[in-house]
Amino acid sequence: MTLHAAASRTAEGPVTRFAPSPSGHLHVGGARTALFCWAYARGRGGRFILRIEDTDQKRSSEAASVGFLKDLRWLGIDWDEGPEHEGCGGGTHGPYFQAQRLPIYEQHLARLLRDGTAYHAFDTAEELAAQREAAKARGAAYRYDGTAARALPADEVERRLRAGEPSVVRFAAPPDPVTIRDEILGEVTLPAGEIDDFVIRKADGFPTYHFAVVVDDELMGVTHVLRAQEHFNNTARHMLLQDALGFRRPTYGHLPLIFNPDGSKMSKRDKDKVLRAAVKERGLTAPPSLGQAGASVAGASGADAAASATPSQADFSAWLKDKSVQLPIEQSTALAETLGVALPEINVDDFRRSGYLPEVLCNFLALNGWSPGNDLERFDLEFLRRNFDLSRVLKTPAKFDRAKLLAFNLDSIQAMSIDDFERRCREHGEAFHADFMARLSPAQFRALCEASHPRSKTLDDLFRSNRFLILPDDALPWDSKAAAKLLAPGGAGEAHLRALRELLEHAGEWTPAALEAVIKPYADRDAAGKLGDVAQPLRLAVSGGTVSPPIFDTLAILGRSSVRARIDRALARIGR
């Protein structure tokens, strides 16, 4: 690629890319990188490319790739070029999965080998481990010494390759200082000799991240590379490769990391840490039966679905012993639900399951590392597209304030019309609470939305707080402490329940207004006007707890038959 061609591409607008490794759902840090890349290109008439870096065969999976695509589309981030998904993708620079681009990498690798700027190295794992130990014993940082490998005669290299001896290809890094000019962090120079001869093709024949990303950025016309600061040291390696291949250097901008409020890095392992502690606290040494939780997470029903979300004994034991091991997301989610453990949201899909709105999450992520100025905090994607600029990206780590995000979400939900709230809740329920949606009629669900809207902070609140609505009448659990007080034999709660049972039996219409017309006069007459004294034992009897939607709405949604059955069961409990 000539400098003239690169300049002409820049004149058409910047080209950015987001290139995740498909090893699970999209981390919110990666989502923010994609968001900034999208906004920078789209706001300047450029192109945004999505590329899947799946050359690590041990960590990559097709399912994870699809998960990434769904997460981005849910956020409202579309791409001009990349894998085709829901109307996005395609393009002239594909394939967009690196594992499908091996012949392209081989061409450029062969050129480096011919030029002598790359070489085969036959070191065994044991030899490399011994070198690391020797460096450690000297108190020195380990650096690969490629002197012997570089000196191997060409005929010996060829003989060993024909014999099938495993080898990697290393880049012969020149011993020169490397200056990185970063649009966010400024200019930094790495001293001469800082970069050793790093691997650019692994023994399995796949290129490393360093080599593939350099080739793809050039061939796809990427002009601006925006990525997390943890990649900053990699940039020097990439610049050396670009020089050796005769490629142009893109403009770089390294984004601040996202930390937890306590200053720790926001990591996917945070969920396993919380879950592992809960498992050990309960003394579990084997995976519990996940039952309905496993089936729900798997998106199906039956024993087979539950089993798919249950870790094997061997996997469960390995996970307990090794903090670096992570359970697959389906297994960790089902296990947490079974144990009643709330896991911290880390991935985009976590926030979606928890009922956050995509527009709110995008707004909040943009504020984690970028400032629009003028103390502005609430804006949409269109505002971000028009106004995003690297000059206002922060250099220091951003802290993820979950309380603030929840407040943002609450405000946005409360600003919705009831029709919009119902639509969004229905979509959320169909995606994550199929059992709930199957048990309620459209009229019941509408009534529940009307009753829940004023107190909902997330879309999931409606489902999580009202599970009692879909439980069988004869399997409703009661809060034991509340039951001891409100359902005591001979107490006021029993008297109110018996009286209300009779009144409700003869109620005409079964609507909130009609039920209020039956119950409130009774409270005025027999409870000194204290509706709460009457409503609480009734609420406990029909919902199992002391918190539910307004009592008249709760009764109307449950329906006459369930209310009667639940009151009778509560009275039978009192009579035992």
Q: List helix spans (H) across 139-208.
A: 147-150, 154-162
pLDDT of residue 334: 84
pLDDT at 328 over 90: no
pLDDT tens-digit map of 133-158: 999 999 988 999 999 999 999 999 99
288 and 154 housed in the same domain: no
Q: How many structural domains does the chain have?
A: 3
**Structural domain includes residue 388:** no
Residue environment code for 394-412, b if the CB has 16+ CB neighbours within 10 A, otherwise e: eeebbebeeeebbebbbee
Q: What is the pLDDT confidence band of residue 288, given thresholds at 50, 70 and 90?
A: confident
Backbone angles phi, psi at 179, to 5 degrees: -105, 125
The residue out of 311, 345, 379 marking a domain boundary is 345
Residue 306 has pLDDT above 50, yes or no: no
Q: 389: burial class by Cβ within 10 Å (0-12, 13-18, 19+)?
A: middle
Q: Look at residue 5 in the predicted model and tell me its pLDDT.
A: 35
In the prediction, which pLDDT does 286 show? 87
Dihedral angle over CA of 241, 245, 247, 249, nearest 10: 20
Which domain CATH number covers 167? 3.40.50.620
- Segment 342-352, tens digit of pLDDT: 888 899 999 99
**% of the chain at pLDDT higher than 90:** 73
Are both 281 and 141 inside the same structural domain? Answer: no
* Helix, strand or coil, per DSSP, at residue 25: coil
Same domain, 217 and 329: no
What's the token pair of residue 573? 């409990």
Whether residue 69 is predicted with pLDDT greater than 70 in this model: the reply is yes
Residue 334 lies inside a defined structural domain of this protein: yes
Residue 3 is predicted with a pLDDT of 32
| pLDDT of 114 | 95
- pLDDT in the model for residue 106: 97
Instruction: Say yes or no: 106 and 243 in one domain.
Output: yes
Claim to verify: residue 477 and residue 552 sit in the same structural domain: yes
Q: What is the mean pLDDT of residues 25-43?
A: 95
53: in domain: no
Q: Judge whether 172 lies within some domain.
A: yes
Residues of the domain holding 504:
469-575
Position 418 pLDDT exceeds 90: yes
What residues are paired with 27 via a beta bridge?
A: 347
Tell me the average pLDDT across 383-407: 95
437: in domain: no
Band the pLDDT of 64: cuts 50, 70, 90. Answer: low
Among residues 283, 312, 345, the one where a domain terminates is 345
DSSP symbol at 18: E
pLDDT at 60 over 70: no
pLDDT digits (tens, 9 = 90+) for 478-530: 999 999 999 899 999 999 999 999 999 989 899 999 999 999 999 999 988 89
- How sure is the predictor about 63, in pLDDT bands with cuts at 50, 70 and 90? low
Decide if 363 is inside a domain.
no
Q: Using 50, 70 and 90 to split pLDDT, how confident is the model at 89?
A: confident
Tell me the CATH number at 504.
1.10.10.350
- Looking at the fold, whether 107 and 205 belong to one and the same domain comes out as yes
Instruction: From residue 194, give the alpha-carbon distance in Å to each of 143, 179, 231, 247.
Output: 9, 12, 16, 22
The yes-or-no verdict on residue 8 having pLDDT over 70 is no
Report d(CA 242, CA 485) in Å as an integer: 75
Q: What is the CA radius of gyration of the chain?
A: 30
Active site residue 268: yes
Tokens standing for 512? 């909130």
Q: Which tens digit of pLDDT belongs to each residue from 173-222?
A: 998 999 999 999 999 999 988 899 999 999 999 999 999 999 999 999 99
Q: What is the per-residue pLDDT for 61?
A: 56
Beta strands at 47-50 and 15-18: parallel, antiparallel or unpaired: parallel
pLDDT at 271 over 90: no
The confidence band for 289, taking pLDDT boundaries of 50, 70 and 90, is confident
Question: What's the average model confidence in pLDDT over 420-429?
Answer: 98
DSSP category for residue 470 = G
pLDDT (0 to 100) of residue 59:
59
Q: Are residues 141 and 171 in the same domain?
A: yes
Would you place residue 265 in the very low, low, confident or very high pLDDT band (cuts 50, 70, 90)? Answer: confident
Q: Please indicate whether residue 6 or residue 382 has the higher confidence score (pLDDT).
A: 382
- The Cα 453–Cα 550 span in angstroms is 12
Bond into 454 cis (ω within 30) = no
pLDDT of residue 305: 44
Domain match, 330 and 213 both = no
382: confidence class by pLDDT, cuts 50, 70, 90: very high
Please compute the mean of the pLDDT values over residues 58-87 and round it to a whole number.
83
What is the value of pTM for the model shown?
Answer: 0.88
Query: What is the residue type of 278?
Result: A
Torsion sign, CA atoms 535, 541, 546, 549: negative
**Domain-located, residue 462:** no
In a domain, 372, yes or no: no
The closest of 236, 245, 194 to 218, measured between CA atoms, is 245
Residue 7, pLDDT > 80, answer no
pLDDT of residue 576: 65
Quick one: 285 and 215 in the same domain?
no
pLDDT of 524-570, one tens digit each? 999 888 999 999 999 999 999 999 999 999 999 999 999 999 999 99
Same domain, 141 and 229: yes
Rounded to whole angstroms, how far apart are CA atoms 419 and 410? 17
Write down the catalytic residue from 202, 268, 404, 520. Answer: 268
Q: Which two tokens stand for residue 52?
A: 């899947």
Residue 110 tokens read as 């062969």
Closest CA to 483 of 552, 562, 570, 575: 570
One domain for residues 341 and 243: no
Do 179 and 287 lie in one domain? The reply is no
pLDDT at 125: 92
Last residue of a domain, one of 255, 281, 303: 255
